[in-house]
């Protein structure tokens, strides 16, 4: 306790002078009032009885004297303005950054071992972080300021900058871990921006250390020592004094003006410290979950689930897959430390569209071995039943090719067109695969941007062929073929008769499917996307014309055509991978089953309640949160904050009102890894925040007001005792 007003050397003489004056007044003899009485003997008897109570009278006067001295002491202390030592330090502006990543939902440790705290089995790492934040806020003085920043996939400021700790403490209520990684770099940048120009700036990061590389780098840069000649930094680096301050990625709700007191040092960068909360690292997570239809049997699907043991001990878990609330598969898995296991459930009925994978402890494991619950559940959507669209460009003379494709119409949608109908044909733009067999006709210019199968692409030199020729072959023999390649599965071509063929030039990365005495006559080429916006595609080129061979008369020909369609059909995204939570990601509406033509915006609603009536954020009867998202050239950006099933509805265009489902999962091994990575950063010793501070024992009001209230209470007590003749 210190005196902020009059010093002790000034108060002691004042108290001594006042005490002397009070004592002198009490030492004065009270002059008795003279009265004339008729009978002296009677009053002698009264005087004799009063002398027996003389000692009590002295004590009463002593009590009154002590009350006056206490009143004087309180007034002197009020002049001294006593304050706790913490109140007399320089003002502090504190920014508390709380990590809300998925790992913070893991069980908290007991402080001495890497196991969960047996006294508090439900305590999480985030609970420990909130406790530390409350202790920091309770220890602030009346001139200190603070704000609370939460770092999940999105950065938020639940407690704006201010001196009143009550709203800051209320902002800590209801915090829970978010799905995905913490955007710690953006949160620290926001804290630096909030503390720019504030006196005594200090950033306190509360985290378990299970950070991704970006978060670890941001923390290392924040806690790095700053040279003496450097000024306030922006983001994660210090800048020279004359550099403009970075405004940061997000404005702070309360205006922040530089300190005006003599202690304010606006050119000093804020200190950055870390308070670590930890616990056991055992965790088993579902890192992949998806479903696909069989290419040749669209009424059945197969489901893939990947389970990863991210802990340091073996774990036994039960993986259950449910379809619209009904169990369709259950497996007991024993995983070694770090082991990944991929489970495939085959030949499931595709009538059900929503799939849910759930992990539960095995017979030999406890619930603590599963770690946070957010990654123990994953969602998947059975892809919509959409036919594979094939466009055939032909002049009409190869009836064998058309017949082979027509036999596949139970699972493909075939559209035939002549060369004149190619420009601007909408069926060509919607095709998944384009087959070109024009014989002596020239290839269409430009070639379609889809996957291609081209027969005899170099028969005419004026066509836009994707291949180049190394010469002509007359009556070649097909002597070699790529055994085991899915395009040639079950196809034998060694005795096929050809009138002519083109020797195709193979580029690096091309696969040679068929050779004639070592010369390539059939190639498979994968073209990557270009900077001009063209997408990746696959091209198969046959350097001969089926009309100039006896191949169409053999059973190998329809089998080859079926292999071509199956190969490209399976090359499409078969397993519908879930969208991860967190940062906004581009999604093509065509991949979800919506037509992109004329579509300018979609409505995203979710997550939907689960089959058991629960939802990650909402009650079963609560309306779904919705957002309108613009669509640009068939692509929209989705930022999902919670795992679950979302509805995507077209708002305009020819398909307005059409709705598709989208699964969103955490499905991230780094987000589920509970290992502390702080030790790898080699932070300086001063970066550690140490033990929690001790809260101040008094309120924020000045103590001299309490002293004056106490003096007033003593005056009232003296007045009451005087009139009751206790102290006189």
Percent of the chain with pLDDT over 90: 30
Pair (566, 590) in one structural domain: no
Predicted local distance difference test score (pLDDT) of residue 494: 83
Predicted local distance difference test score (pLDDT) of residue 130: 94
pLDDT band at 625 (very low <50, low <70, confident <90, very high): confident
Predicted local distance difference test score (pLDDT) of residue 497: 92
Q: List the single range of 240-244, 350-354, 391-395, 453-457 with lowest mean pLDDT.
A: 240-244
Predicted local distance difference test score (pLDDT) of residue 710: 78
How many structural domains compose the chain? 5
φ/ψ (deg, to 5) at 147:
-145, 160
Return the CATH number at 302. 2.60.40.10
Q: By C-alpha distance, which of 255, 105, 93 is closest to 178?
A: 105
Pair (232, 97) in one structural domain: yes
Residue 53 lies in a domain: yes
pLDDT band at 259 (very low <50, low <70, confident <90, very high): very low
CA 462 to chain CA centroid, Å, is 55
Pair (405, 441) in one structural domain: yes
Q: State mean pLDDT over 402-424.
A: 87
pLDDT digits (tens, 9 = 90+) for 576-606: 556 888 767 788 887 777 878 788 999 999 8
Predicted local distance difference test score (pLDDT) of residue 325: 80
The SS3 assignment for 242 reads coil
Predicted local distance difference test score (pLDDT) of residue 337: 92
Higher pLDDT pick, 268 / 7:
7
Task: Measure the CA–CA gap between 109 and 130, rounded to whole angstroms.
Answer: 15
Pair (513, 400) in one structural domain: yes
pLDDT band at 728 (very low <50, low <70, confident <90, very high): low
What is the pTM for the complete model shown?
Answer: 0.62
The last residue of a domain, from among 380, 413, 448: 380
Mean predicted lDDT score pLDDT of the chain: 80
Pair (484, 423) in one structural domain: yes
Q: List the single range of 82-86, 232-236, 306-310, 681-685 with lowest mean pLDDT.
A: 232-236
Pair (566, 423) in one structural domain: yes
Predicted local distance difference test score (pLDDT) of residue 62: 73
Task: Measure the CA–CA gap between 331 and 335, rounded to whole angstroms.
Answer: 12
Percent of the chain with pLDDT over 70: 78
Pair (70, 125) in one structural domain: no
Predicted local distance difference test score (pLDDT) of residue 529: 67
Predicted local distance difference test score (pLDDT) of residue 147: 94
Residue 727 lies in a domain: no
Residue 531 lies in a domain: yes
Q: What string of H, E and C letters represents the secondary structure of 675-710?
A: CCCCHHHCCCHHHECCCCCCCCCCCCCCHHHHHHHH
Q: If you search the block for the tokens 């009346």, which residue do you land on?
A: 142
Predicted local distance difference test score (pLDDT) of residue 249: 36
| Residues in contact with 694: Cβ distance below 8 Å, sequence separation at least 6, in sequence order | 139
CB 15 within 8 A of CB 76: yes
H helices within 459-597, ranges in order?
Answer: 556-571, 589-592
Give the single-character DSSP code of 65: H
The SS3 assignment for 550 reads coil
CB 132 within 8 A of CB 184: no
Predicted local distance difference test score (pLDDT) of residue 244: 37
Residue 216 lies in a domain: yes
pLDDT at 270 over 80: yes
pLDDT at 498 over 60: yes
Residue 62 lies in a domain: yes
pLDDT band at 28 (very low <50, low <70, confident <90, very high): low
Helix/strand number for the chain, H first, E second: 13, 31
Task: Measure the CA–CA gap between 82 and 439, rounded to whole angstroms.
Answer: 102
pLDDT at 262 over 50: no
pLDDT digits (tens, 9 = 90+) for 641-650: 888 889 899 9
Predicted local distance difference test score (pLDDT) of residue 114: 54
Q: State mean pLDDT over 174-198.
A: 90
Predicted local distance difference test score (pLDDT) of residue 255: 35
Asked if omega into 446 is within 30° of 0 (cis), the reply is yes
Q: State mean pLDDT over 321-337.
A: 88
Predicted local distance difference test score (pLDDT) of residue 165: 86
Pair (146, 179) in one structural domain: yes
Pair (222, 120) in one structural domain: yes
Q: How many CB atoms lie under 10 A from the CB of residue 60?
A: 16
Pair (78, 104) in one structural domain: no
The SS3 assignment for 635 reads strand
Q: State mean pLDDT over 85-110.
A: 82
Structure tokens belonging to residue 118: 């047996």
Distances (CA, A) of 544 to 269, 393, 435, 515, 616: 73, 16, 14, 12, 59
pLDDT digits (tens, 9 = 90+) for 273-300: 999 898 888 899 999 898 887 766 667 7
Domain that holds residue 393: 388-571
């Amino acid at each position: 306790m210190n005196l902020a007003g009059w010093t002790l050397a000034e108060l002691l003489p004042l108290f001594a002078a006042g005490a002397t004056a009070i004592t002198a007044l009490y030492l004065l003899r009270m002059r008795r009032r003279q009265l004339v009485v008729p009978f002296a003997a009677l009053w002698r008897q009264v005087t004799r009885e009063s002398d027996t109570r003389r000692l009590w009278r002295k004590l009463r006067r002593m009590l009154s004297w002590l009350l006056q001295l206490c009143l004087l002491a309180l007034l002197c202390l009020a002049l001294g303005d006593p304050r706790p030592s913490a109140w007399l330090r320089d003002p502090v502006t504190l920014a508390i950054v709380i990590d809300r990543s998925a790992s913070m939902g893991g069980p908290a440790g007991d402080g001495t071992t890497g196991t969960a705290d047996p006294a508090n089995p439900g305590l999480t790492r985030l609970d420990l972080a909130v406790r530390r934040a409350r202790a920091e806020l309770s220890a602030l003085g009346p001139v200190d300021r603070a704000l609370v920043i939460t770092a999940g996939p999105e950065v938020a400021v639940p407690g704006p900058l201010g001196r009143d700790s009550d709203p800051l403490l209320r902002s800590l209520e209801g915090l829970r871990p978010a799905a995905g990684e913490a955007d710690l770099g953006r949160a620290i940048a926001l804290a630096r921006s909030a503390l720019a120009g504030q006196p005594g700036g200090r950033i306190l990061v509360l985290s378990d250390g299970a950070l991704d590389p970006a978060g670890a780098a941001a923390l290392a840069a924040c806690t790095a020592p700053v040279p003496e000649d450097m000024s306030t930094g922006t983001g994660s680096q210090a800048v020279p004094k004359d550099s403009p301050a970075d405004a940061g990625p997000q404005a702070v709700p309360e205006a922040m003006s530089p300190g005006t007191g003599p202690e304010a040092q606006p050119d000093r960068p804020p200190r950055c410290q870390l308070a670590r909360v930890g616990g056991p690292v055992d965790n088993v997570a579902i890192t992949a979950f998806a479903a696909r239809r069989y290419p040749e049997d669209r009424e059945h699907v197969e489901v893939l689930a990947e389970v990863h043991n991210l802990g340091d001990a073996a774990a036994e878990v039960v993986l259950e897959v449910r379809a619209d609330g009904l169990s369709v598969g259950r497996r007991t898995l024993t995983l070694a430390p770090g082991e990944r296991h991929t489970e495939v459930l085959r030949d499931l009925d595709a009538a059900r569209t929503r799939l849910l994978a759930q992990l539960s402890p095995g017979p030999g494991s406890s619930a603590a071995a599963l770690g946070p619950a957010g990654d123990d559940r994953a969602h998947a959507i059975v892809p919509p039943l959409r036919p594979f669209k094939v466009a055939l460009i032909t002049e009409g003379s190869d009836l064998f090719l058309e017949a082979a494709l027509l036999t596949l119409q139970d699972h493909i949608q075939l559209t035939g067109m002549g060369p004149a109908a190619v420009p601007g044909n909408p069926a060509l733009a919607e095709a998944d695969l384009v087959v070109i067999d024009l014989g002596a006709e020239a290839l269409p210019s430009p070639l379609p941007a889809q996957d291609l199968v081209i027969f005899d692409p170099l028969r005419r030199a004026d066509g836009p062929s994707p291949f180049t020729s190394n010469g002509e072959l007359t009556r070649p023999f097909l002597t070699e073929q790529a055994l085991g390649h899915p395009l040639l599965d079950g196809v034998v071509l060694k005795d096929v008769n050809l009138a002519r063929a083109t020797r195709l030039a193979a580029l690096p990365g091309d696969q040679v499917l068929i050779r004639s005495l070592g010369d390539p006559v059939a190639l498979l080429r994968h073209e990557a996307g270009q900077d001009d916006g063209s997408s990746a595609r696959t091209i198969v080129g046959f350097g001969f014309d089926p009309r100039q061979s006896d191949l169409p008369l053999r059973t190998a020909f329809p089998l080859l055509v079926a292999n071509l369609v199956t190969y490209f059909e399976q090359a499409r995204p078969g397993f519908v991978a879930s969208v991860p939570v967190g940062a906004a990601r581009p999604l093509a509406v065509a991949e979800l089953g919506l037509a992109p033509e004329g579509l300018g915006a979609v409505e995203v609603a979710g997550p939907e309640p689960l089959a058991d009536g629960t939802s990650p954020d909402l009650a079963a009867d609560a309306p779904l949160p919705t957002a309108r998202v613009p669509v640009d050239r068939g692509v929209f950006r989705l930022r999902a904050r919670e795992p679950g099933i979302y509805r995507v509805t077209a708002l305009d265009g020819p398909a307005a009102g059409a709705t598709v489902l989208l699964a969103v999962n955490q499905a991230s091994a780094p987000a589920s890894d509970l290992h502390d990575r702080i030790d790898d950063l080699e932070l300086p010793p001063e970066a550690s925040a140490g033990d929690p501070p001790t809260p101040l024992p008094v309120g924020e009001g000045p103590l001299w007001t309490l002293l004056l209230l106490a003096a007033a209470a003593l005056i009232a007590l003296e007045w009451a005792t005087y009139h009751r003749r206790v102290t006189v």
